[in-house]
Each structure stands twice: as structure tokens, then as C-alpha cells.
Amino acid sequence: MTAHKIIYTALFDGYDTLAPIPDRYRDDWDAICFTDTPEAVPDGWRAVFLDQSWFPGLPPVAISKIIKHQPANWLPPHDASIYIDANRTVIRPLDEFEQEFCTDTEFLSMTHPGAAYHDVYAEIRACKRHNRDYLKVKGMADKLDAQEQAYRAVGAPERIGHLCELGTIYRRDTWTSWYIGSLWCAEFLVRETWRDQIALRYVLWRYGLSIDLAPREEVMISGKKIARARSNRYYFKFDVHRPARKRALCK
């Protein structure tokens, strides 16, 4: 029996402009986009409408991320899934990506080019220092302080694990990947700081879990660099977030 495989993304409040996905790259992968604007979904993707009113109290950024965290809760029955942020473009066959990087994994993300280890407290400080619009959300600075205090109280180390990039995630539909996703989503929602990288690294440390990491430089390339690339070995192209319309600040 052919495995049922799905690539999916989430697009809410016009945060990105999603690129089409050619059939020659999808092959037998279904492509699903969860969105509040089905008319913005391009060729190759099947739009699944989700109104923001179904998620009372959650900003659009949080809606997209809880869909990312728990594919088993949103997708039809499947054997494997790939989540991509809506600013990613598939540029090589997904089957080849799976064969090269995913044959022996249940949960795979990418390394981050910024640093080898994730200093969770430095990231919290950076959120407060640099994300000015982010801090306009009422009470956000206090929530970040509370998150840092909660982590220090249970002894979470500064170097909490390898820094990972969470815009592209491969998962098999197994109990382990479901368990990681459930813990990740719960931590993300409890803290209300909407930083899923911090939440994932914490729950992996707290519960003694692990995920696999592929070198991002072998999987993805920036849209600014692709014209100068010496080979076409990359599977995904990523661009800066380019909203289809100006995004409202979450309240």
C-alpha cells in the first residue's frame, strides 16, 4: 500500500504570500493550506478554511503555530507529514528530500545557522530588546519575565540544547511525534509569549526527549542567494515574510 504523505502550511491574517507547489515536486504528496483566506491559496495547494473566530483569544501567529505543532489533530490520516512556513517554496521533489534526510527519523527539523546552542534566556532577553511591535502587546514583557522565572525555578540551563530552525519540520505519524507535539503546544499556550522555539527546547529538556536535525545549509537556501547558487541541491527556498496585506497587531 502506498504511504499517505502530506505537506501542509498555515496562512492567517495575510502574513505571507504563499507560492504555488508544482505537481512534479509533490508527486504523491497531498498539499494542504489551513487559512482564513482561501482565495489567497495558489495552485497545487488545497485550501482548508479555518475562521479565526474558532480560536477565541488567540492572535493569528498563535493559530498558525498550534497547527504546526500538532499535525495529527488537523490532518487526515497519514503516514508522514512535512510542515513548512508559508514563506517557503518547494524547489525539488519531496520524495527526494524524504529519501535523503528522513529515512530513519520520527521528528526532524533543521539546524539554525546563528549558533550551535540555544541560550533560552538570551532569546527571551532579545525578544524584549529587539521586537518592538511584539512588546506593544499588552502584558507581553511581563509574560516573558514570568517564563524566564519559571524556567529558572526548575533549573533549566542556559544552553538548553542545539538551536533549531522550525520553519520546516518532517514527522512520521507516531506516538513519539504526537507526544512531543502535544507537550510543545501545551507549553506554548500556557506561556502566551508565542515563541515556539523557546517552548520546544524547554519541553525537550524537561521531559528528556530529542529530535533529529538536518543541516539547514544542505536543505534550504535564501531567495536572495538562489540565483548565485552553484548547484540545485536545495529542496526549499525561503524568503523574508512578505504580507499579502498589512497584518494587525495581536491584542
Number of domains in the chain: 1
Domain assignment present for residue 248? The answer is no
The pTM for the full model equals: 0.90
Burial of residue 83 (number of CB atoms within 10 Å: 0-12, 13-18, 19+): buried
Tens of pLDDT along 188-237? 999 999 999 899 999 999 999 999 999 888 898 876 565 555 556 789 98
CATH number of the domain bearing residue 88: 3.90.550.10
Q: With cut-offs at 50, 70 and 90, classify the pLDDT of residue 249.
A: very low
Residue 176 predicted with pLDDT over 90: yes
Q: Is 138 inside any structural domain?
A: yes
Domain membership of residue 246 (yes or no) is no
Residue 9 domain-assigned (yes or no): yes
Q: Is residue 215 part of a domain?
A: yes
Confirm whether 249 is domain-assigned. Answer: no
Q: Range with the lowest mean pLDDT among 40-49, 56-65, 166-175?
A: 56-65
Between CA 237 and CA 21 the distance in angstroms is 12
**Which domain covers residue 22, as residue numbers?**
5-238
Contact call for residues 83 and 127 (beta carbons, < 8 A)? no
Residue written as grid cell 495547494? 45
Closest CA to 205 of 153, 156, 154, 150: 156
pLDDT value at 51 more than 80: yes
| Nearest to 81, CA basis, from 89, 96, 70, 93 | 70
Q: Give the pLDDT confidence of 72-114 residue by residue, as tens digits.
A: 999 999 999 999 999 999 999 999 999 999 999 999 999 877 6
Which residue has cell 547558487? 229
b/e per residue, 197-222, with b = 16+ CB within 10 A?
A: bbbbbbbbbeeeeebebbebeebbbe
